[in-house]
Amino acid sequence: MALPAVLALRPRLAALGRRLGAPRGAAGDDTFLAKGSAALEKLKDLCNEGKEPPSALFQLYTQAVLDITYFEENQLVDDGFPEETSLQKLKELICILSEPEHLVRECNVDEEPINILGAELLECLYWRKGALLYMYCHTAKERREWLQGNIATFKKCLNDGVHYLMKMLSFRCPLQLNEDVLLQDKDTARLLSEGIFSDTHLLAMMYSGEMCYWGLKHGGEGKQESRESIDPVCDSSLGSGTQSVWLDFQETGKNMLTKYVTVCEGPLKGQGWNTTMAKQMLRDFVKSHS
C-alpha cells in the first residue's frame, strides 16, 4: 500500500536534500533547518522500511517542507526581498509549499488532501504562501519605478496572496451555535462561530483586506486585468482552477476588514488588536465606490 507513496516521495526528498545542501549566505537561527534535516533523515529510513501508512509519510514530508522553507523565507525577508532575485525565489518557495497537496493528489486519487494531511497542516501551508506574498507586496509597493513597470505582476501576487489566505480560512467550518453546543465563554463562542480559531486566522483577514486595498490603490479592481498579461507566481499555485479567478478587490477587502474590525472591537475588545488602519482602509473603500 505504501509503495506508490514511497516512489512519489523519493524524488521530492532528494530535491529537499539539495536545498539543504545549497550554499547559504549569512544565516540566522538554523533551528528550522536542523528540524527539516532531521525529518528528511527519518523519512528516508521510513521509506526504506516501507511499514508506515502513506498519511504518516505525507505529514512528515509536509513538516519538513514547512521547516526548510521557513528558514529560506526568513533569509528573503532579512535581505529585504532583493529586487533582482526575490520574485524567482518567491515562485520557488510557493511551488515547494504546494508540493504536499500535489503529492497527496498524485497518490490518493479518491482522497482529498484535508483527509490525509489534516486541517492544521493545510492551514500552515496556505498561511505561509499568503503571508509570504503579503510581505513581498508590502516591500514591492514602495519601489515606485519597479511598480510602474510591473503592475500586472504586482497585482497577480496580490490576487494569489488573498486567494491563499481565504483558502486558509476555509479549512475549518465555523462552529454552529445551538442548544447542543454549550460554551460558558460567550466571546470564545462568538469567535468560533466566525471561523476564527487562532490569532493567525485574524491576521489572515487583516492581510487579505490590506492586499485588496493595495490592489485598488495601484490600478483598480483586479478582475479587470487580462490573465494573459501576467506572469504566474506558480503554474499550479492554487489548483482546481482557482488561480484563474480574479477577485473583486473592493468587495473582498471590504468584507475581510469589516469582519476583522467587528471581531476586534467585539469579543476581542481590550486584547490589544488595533483597528485604526483597518477602519481607515474601510473608509477609503467606501469613497472609491461612491
Domain count of the fold of the chain:
2
Mark whether 112 and 127 lie in a shared domain: no
Q: Give the residue from 79, 98, 117 where a domain finishes.
A: 117
Is the full-model pTM beyond 0.85?
yes
User: How many angstroms separate the CA atoms of 86 and 279, rounded?
Assistant: 32
pLDDT of 59-89, one tens digit each?
999 999 999 999 999 999 999 999 999 999 9
Using CA atoms, how far residue 126 sits from 22, 160, 232, 258, in Å, is 25, 11, 17, 22
Mark whether 204 and 227 lie in a shared domain: yes
Q: From the CB of residue 92, how many other CB atoms can be counted at a distance below 10 Å?
A: 14
Mean pLDDT of the chain: 83
Q: Give the residue from 117, 137, 155 where a domain finishes.
A: 117
Mark whether 79 and 144 lie in a shared domain: no
Q: Give the residue from 117, 138, 167 where a domain finishes.
A: 117
Mark whether 253 and 170 lie in a shared domain: yes
Residue 102 has pLDDT above 90, yes or no: yes
User: Taking residues 115-142, what's their average pLDDT?
Assistant: 95
CB 212 within 8 A of CB 250: yes
- For the chain, the first-to-last Cα distance in angstroms comes to 60
Query: Residue 211: its pLDDT value, please?
Result: 97
Mark whether 155 and 273 lie in a shared domain: yes
Mark whether 167 and 102 lie in a shared domain: no
Q: Residue 238 — very low, low, confident or very high, per pLDDT cuts 50/70/90?
A: very low
User: How many angstroms separate the CA atoms of 67 and 34, rounded?
Assistant: 8
CB 211 within 8 A of CB 134: yes
Mark whether 217 and 123 lie in a shared domain: yes
pLDDT of 1-45, one tens digit each?
578 888 999 999 999 999 988 766 555 558 888 899 999 999 999
Question: Can you give the residue range of the structural domain that contains 20?
Answer: 1-117
Mark whether 94 and 137 lie in a shared domain: no
User: How many angstroms separate the CA atoms of 168 and 122, rounded?
Assistant: 7
